[in-house]
Structure 1
Amino acid sequence: MLMAALLHAPQESPGGRISGSVVERGTGTPLAGVTIRLRPGIAGASTDNQGKFTLERIPDGTYTLQASLLGYRKEEAQNVIVRAGAETTFVVSMEETPIQVSQVVVTASRREQSLQDVPMTVTTINADALAYRLSTTLDDALRAVSGVTMIDDQINIRGSSGYSRGVGSRVLLLVDGAPYLTGDTGEINWESLPIDQVDHVEVVKGAGSALYGSSALGGVVNVITRRIEEGSSVKVRSFGGAYDRPPYSAWSWTPSTRFTSGVFVTASERNGSAGFLLGASRLMDEGYRQNDVVHKYAIFGRSDLELGDMSSLQITGNIVRRVNGNFFWWKSLHEPLRPPDDHQKRWVRSTRGYISATYRSVTGTGALITARGQYYGNAWSDEEGSVVNNTSKSDVGFGELQWTQDAGSGHQIVAGLTASVAQVRSNIFGNHPGLGAAAFIQDDVTLSPATTVSAGVRLDWERVSALTPRSQVDPKLGMTLKASETTTFRGSIGRGFRYPSIAELFTFVATGFGSTNVVPNPNLRAERSFSLEAGIAQLIAQNTWLDVSIFHAEYRDLIEAGVDPKDRVIRFDNVHRARITGTEISAGAEWFERALTTTAGYTLMDPRNVTTNSVLRFRPRHIAVAAVQGKMGGWDAGMEYRFVGKIEAIDEQLVTLANIVDGDKRVPVHVLDVRAFRTLTDLGIPARIGLTVRNVLNYQYVELVGNMAPPRTYVLSIDAAFE
């Protein structure tokens, strides 16, 4: 509910002014952190601790005012008239609703929309959840998402990826909407993401190539960085932890306790139309395994500038330096925390960074024009003692122009052009350039207050080195139907694809595994997928929700490394077709005015290699997650459980060629984490302290062949903010 009064008080600044406050419906309690947006335009604000907000220098016109906050129903006021020299005042009353129902996402259709209006399954992780988990890399937090598994650092959404030995991601990672895959191997590097600057993460399940192009074969993960808050602040987050001793004396490789620690410091200031932020972090992990030490240093910067009344410019940048031991696999199951003797003293040194700029402007017709450019650089080398074995440097430039328009008659249109250029210089991948371009369009049509249809298509073109250029057309179609205020049906069909990475096309290693050579294959074809989904989102009561979906995906020309039986060499080939069918169920409830929250998710899959009529490698049939969190006074505590069914099929060739002793040993995954935090603001201290125990049962398992997962780990943390 929104109430407004037009006051004709003179204003010193040009244009009109909108101000007001936001309260909880029924109680009148002021709500802080509410996002206020004015459409059309780029004007926005957040409510302060008293629930108040102000928008200034608004040009004459008629607008729509939107108010959104996680856990509350989105409110909207249309036909808001603004006149120069006048002030419009609002009192916004927001109704509490389950968090799952109130979310607003941008990735599914490249524009803001309510989660209930999205025809695909989308899961979000907000900054509070990242801090609550004490996540130092994003892949750790993604393990708690229903339907998602991680094999080492490779993400699987509903079994789409398996494990591809560190090359070629079948899930596309975006940072503020721009692709973030390395130029040489086409993989995701989670370590280079500024996790302390993340506002929220959106995980789109299903093929997304119709909007985002290559690598969105199995889904999209979009990392949205934080908006700089009004005023000045310094925030510090630090932690220190220790790994538990090995459960068996035979596993012990050192008499000392192994520690991990980190610190994140951010300083920011925003005054009206300009905001600046600078952050730095350091991470040190001694590792629970021999030769698995990590040292990481990072710097992040951001500036937000309002350029006039209807335009804005956002510039972000990040650089990460990392030195780590290179633990490939264990010596044996009897010595799982030691690498083989010939793997000792292996190190990887890497420097990665990006800088991006995003310009937004609203035209006279109300269209939002977004121009985005990004550079992503990646350099690494692996060393054995003082000898450098392999090196690679890659540079990727990306540009995008997007047009978003409310075209009337229920049509919301998004269209755009993208271009990319890449250059790789490596002793194992060779020196190769790459070019790409694409055009896309999508129309979300509101047929009735209850029915929305979404249709889109994208054309991609790519050329790598001197190879023949190739193109790809990917359509999508989706629909949502609101049967009632509490029931929404959804369905979608789409195609996806992934061009082979430069590493898959051109890798040449004289002795890849033992005496077996790894050779190039420039004739690789693009991987392709077709996926469909149907689901229902049900609000069971004011505090309980249920989401059920069924999904089916067909994959063709999947690329895998294998041994040629004739030449006895290893190369990447298009080897098989695959089919994955399954169902996913998620539910949640909030009790006692959100003092207690519970969530759970279960995914059942049948991952099938159609070519060989066998189970796909590195895909589980069962995935389950469950969590409970309670708050009382200044205390916040909870627990989280993850289950991943036993992997039925692995890469036997890898085990044999690499001579991984006991490489076939694996078990189901059962991991239980517990956490407790205490906020000290009631004592006059602007800080929060916490204790987290990961893998509290000290369960021994592997995610990747020959790699024992972390044991029980104790972590103390402190977060402080100074304004």
Structure 2
Amino acid sequence: LLGILIVVIGASFPASGADEQLQSNEITMEEVVVTGTRTAEEIKKVPANITVITRRDIETSNAKNVPDLLRTQEGIVVRDFLGNGKTVDVDLRGFGETASSNTLVLMDGRRVNAIDLSGVDWTQIPLEQIDRIEIVRGTGSVLYGDNAVGGVINIITKTPGKKPHAKVAVILGSYGRNKESVSFSGGQGKVAASLFATYDSTNGYRENNAFRAKDAGAKIVLDPSEILRFTLSGSYHSDQYGLPGYLSKAEVELDRQATNSPLDNAYTRDKYADLGMDLDLAGLGRVVADISYRKRDSETNWVSWLWTSETETKTKGFTPHYVWEGSLAGHENTFIAGVDLYWTDMDILTSSERVDKDSQGYYFNNALSLFENLILSVGARHERVEYEFDTTTADVKPVDRKEAYSAGLTYTYQGRSSLFVRANKSFRFPLTDELFSSFSGLNADLKPQEGKHYELGIRHYFSKKMYLTATLYRAAFDNEIFYNPLTFTNENHPETLHRGIEIGAKADPCRFFTCFANYTYEKATFEKEPFDGNDIPAVPKNRGNFGFNIHDFIPGVTLTAQYNYVGSSYAISDQANQHEKLESYYTIDSKIAYKWKNLEAFFGVNNITDEKYSQYVVAGWSGLVFYPSPERNWVAGINVRF
């Protein structure tokens, strides 16, 4: 009934202009990003391998969530525990099991990484509200501090416009999936606002794999003058889901959709508010500041283990920074300096314990044009972190400090093309779960992880509609943090080495055809005993993607397809490399969409070849255990804009 209503309403509104549609098919002339420098800058001027996933990329994909979008990008491995996007590792530059603590995830510049092992909750970010995703590969420790070791992913939500706009959408799919969403935006005078609400439900691929989520949020933009802007945003997310757990190899062969924990379940309640200010001081620079608050309640019920965990986490943030762009002795210069302050309090309600983590980061970055096409970038950061573990048996307050540095050269040529080289020093502080346990107390021997990074890259445009990127990198780490399954503790490994090459290409050779391809070779190894020479688990050496988009060859019709390959690797926690390697796997996904006036309908199939594989595999006491991934599945939907 709702689908019929959408069709009726949609047919009554005028179609979008053809010029706008054609423009969206072109490769952007000058892509501008904010994540690489914390201010708007052209990609070609930033000494890093950067990718922007645009709104059009999102709309033409078969993705159900943000990790589905990321898995098609070079240098990234995605491991989905549950197959529904709730609990996912997104790995930039080969950290395996600790990927979530070595990749920093931002939403509109606000940190969303947890202070404990729970990682990032990707389901709190509905695809419908995303404008673009910026991926900066390689360490961002100078600008962002803790966690930004392998790279930074910034999810940027839509900014409301003045013209009234609304959208209603319905999606159906395999495993009883249904999703409904509605959004509205508009404004008048100096104010613009947007609202959205979403309900997403699926029974899941496996038994006890159901997932139900509700989201609602709003954003208000106020421009009281030409030099001042305020942005107020907030959202509420709630979900409940089953925990099907792992299966042995024999159990997977017997029934890969089965579960050994039919009653295990969890729920989440997550809400945040953010107030941002952007003040233009004309020739004196700009002041940008954000104040944020987040409250997250979670409960996990391991009925099969007769254990429940319930936590309440509150995070407050204040992140002001100053930007000056001007001429320094006749040379263009951009200077940025800022402070990142975060206070996180976690109450473990089931054990009457409290865990706090407070951090203060002070940084600067300066980009000076030595010549018209040669830019020197240098930066530094000092960060202090203080923990407090208040338990029934102890009250300890460890404190640590670390510094990060960066230096890079960027040479621009032929319009949009550029070469870059950079060297960086990174750090990562231990997560609270890694540093302290109520059973064993403070892990006093655990040190912060430190790394030295070197990169050389090129972004070359063969024409306005075809480019190639290639990046060589090497990162050597002291005290990289790993979980030791033999001692049940987290430990530092003396030395590890990560090196590889990332290659990507995109072409728009004619009005109706776009294609992309990328390949990543990555080798991550232990460099000293007890695992000297062994591969770091869960880091495949070879990965690749290829895809194409045919649009408006038949008016209104868009066909997309993509191939995703992940090579073999050792299972998580198999530092000894004693188990057999996991087999490589590939998936092929495709989608066809038809747009008429303000109405769009689509149908897609994921894993067309019905590949049987597991993204997440762990080496346990009894051998390898598996979290099977979904087989062939379909999705269909209809939406209308008015």
Same fold (TM over 0.5): yes
* Alpha-carbon distance in 2 for matches of 1:367, 1:262: 45
Q: Which residue of 2 aligns with 1:325?
A: 242
* Alpha-carbon distance in 1 for matches of 2:571, 2:303: 35
2:334 counterpart of 1:412: yes
2:583 counterpart of 1:667: yes
2:524 counterpart of 1:575: no
Q: Is residue 97–residue 572 contact of structure 2 (8 Å, CA) maintained in 1?
A: no
2:633 counterpart of 1:713: yes
- After superposition, the Cα gap between the structure-2 partners of 1:337 and 1:540, relative to the gap in structure 1 and judged at 3 Å, is same
Matching residue's letter, 2:186: E
2:322 counterpart of 1:403: yes
* Alpha-carbon distance in 2 for matches of 1:636, 1:97: 15
Q: Which residue of 2 aligns with 1:507?
A: 437
Q: Which residue of 2 aligns with 1:603?
A: 520
Q: Which residue of 1 aligns with 2:5?
A: none
Q: Is residue 179–residue 199 contact of structure 2 (8 Å, CA) maintained in 1?
A: yes
- After superposition, the Cα gap between the structure-2 partners of 1:337 and 1:430, relative to the gap in structure 1 and judged at 3 Å, is farther
How many Å apart are 1:401 and its aligned residue? 1.0
- After superposition, the Cα gap between the structure-2 partners of 1:136 and 1:364, relative to the gap in structure 1 and judged at 3 Å, is same
How many Å apart are 1:472 and its aligned residue? 1.0
2:160 counterpart of 1:228: yes
Mark the runs of 5 or more structure 1 residues left unpaired by the alignment.
1-47, 53-68, 73-95, 243-257, 510-517, 657-662
SS in 2 for 1:503: helix
* Alpha-carbon distance in 1 for matches of 2:341, 2:445: 24
- After superposition, the Cα gap between the structure-2 partners of 1:391 and 1:106, relative to the gap in structure 1 and judged at 3 Å, is same
**RMSD, aligned CA:** 2.5
How many Å apart are 1:586 and its aligned residue? 1.0
- After superposition, the Cα gap between the structure-2 partners of 1:433 and 1:452, relative to the gap in structure 1 and judged at 3 Å, is same
Q: Which residue of 1 aligns with 2:146?
A: 214
Matching residue's letter, 2:434: E
Q: Which residue of 1 aligns with 2:97?
A: 163
Matching residue's letter, 2:119: E
Q: Is residue 508–residue 519 contact of structure 1 (8 Å, CA) maintained in 2?
A: yes
- After superposition, the Cα gap between the structure-2 partners of 1:431 and 1:277, relative to the gap in structure 1 and judged at 3 Å, is same
Deviation per residue, 1:679-718 (Å, 9 max, x gap): 011xxxx110001100001111111010111111111111
SS in 2 for 1:163: helix
Deviation per residue, 1:626-667 (Å, 9 max, x gap): 1110112101002000001011354248999xxxxxx96732
Mark the runs of 5 or more structure 2 residues left unpaired by the alignment.
1-15, 81-87, 389-395, 618-625
Match of 2:117 among 182, 185, 189: 185
How do 1:190-209 and structure 2 match up within 5 A?
190-209=122-141
Matching residue's letter, 2:421: G
How many Å apart are 1:284 and its aligned residue? 0.5
Match of 1:560 among 467, 478, 482: 482
* Alpha-carbon distance in 2 for matches of 1:486, 1:276: 35
Q: Is residue 167–residue 641 contact of structure 2 (8 Å, CA) maintained in 1?
A: yes
2:633 counterpart of 1:699: no
How many Å apart are 1:399 and its aligned residue? 0.4
How many Å apart are 1:98 and its aligned residue? 3.7
Tell me which stretches of 4 or more aligned residues in structure 1 moved more than 4 Å: 48-52, 69-72, 384-388, 653-656
Q: Is residue 259–residue 285 contact of structure 1 (8 Å, CA) maintained in 2?
A: yes
- After superposition, the Cα gap between the structure-2 partners of 1:602 and 1:665, relative to the gap in structure 1 and judged at 3 Å, is closer
2:287 counterpart of 1:359: no
* Alpha-carbon distance in 2 for matches of 1:51, 1:642: 33
Q: Is residue 571–residue 581 contact of structure 2 (8 Å, CA) maintained in 1?
A: no
- After superposition, the Cα gap between the structure-2 partners of 1:70 and 1:560, relative to the gap in structure 1 and judged at 3 Å, is farther
How many Å apart are 1:185 and its aligned residue? 3.1
Give the stretch that moved more between structures: 536-545 or 117-126: 536-545
* Alpha-carbon distance in 1 for matches of 2:352, 2:407: 38
2:182 counterpart of 1:265: yes
Q: Taking structure 2 as the reference length, what is the TM-score of the superposition?
A: 0.88
Match of 2:502 among 568, 577, 584: 584
Q: Which residue of 2 aligns with 1:460?
A: 383
The structure with more radius of gyration? 1
Q: Is residue 323–residue 335 contact of structure 2 (8 Å, CA) maintained in 1?
A: yes
How many Å apart are 1:326 and its aligned residue? 0.8
Deviation per residue, 1:311-332 (Å, 9 max, x gap): 1110111111110001221252
* Alpha-carbon distance in 1 for matches of 2:22, 2:565: 28
Match of 1:102 among 25, 30, 40: 30
* Alpha-carbon distance in 2 for matches of 1:385, 1:551: 45
* Alpha-carbon distance in 1 for matches of 2:100, 2:522: 23
- After superposition, the Cα gap between the structure-2 partners of 1:487 and 1:422, relative to the gap in structure 1 and judged at 3 Å, is closer
- After superposition, the Cα gap between the structure-2 partners of 1:140 and 1:507, relative to the gap in structure 1 and judged at 3 Å, is farther
Q: Which residue of 1 aligns with 2:393?
A: none
Q: Is residue 548–residue 584 contact of structure 1 (8 Å, CA) maintained in 2?
A: yes
* Alpha-carbon distance in 2 for matches of 1:269, 1:134: 28
* Alpha-carbon distance in 2 for matches of 1:654, 1:423: 37
SS in 2 for 1:333: helix
* Alpha-carbon distance in 1 for matches of 2:357, 2:221: 32
Match of 1:534 among 456, 471, 488: 456
Matching residue's letter, 1:458: R
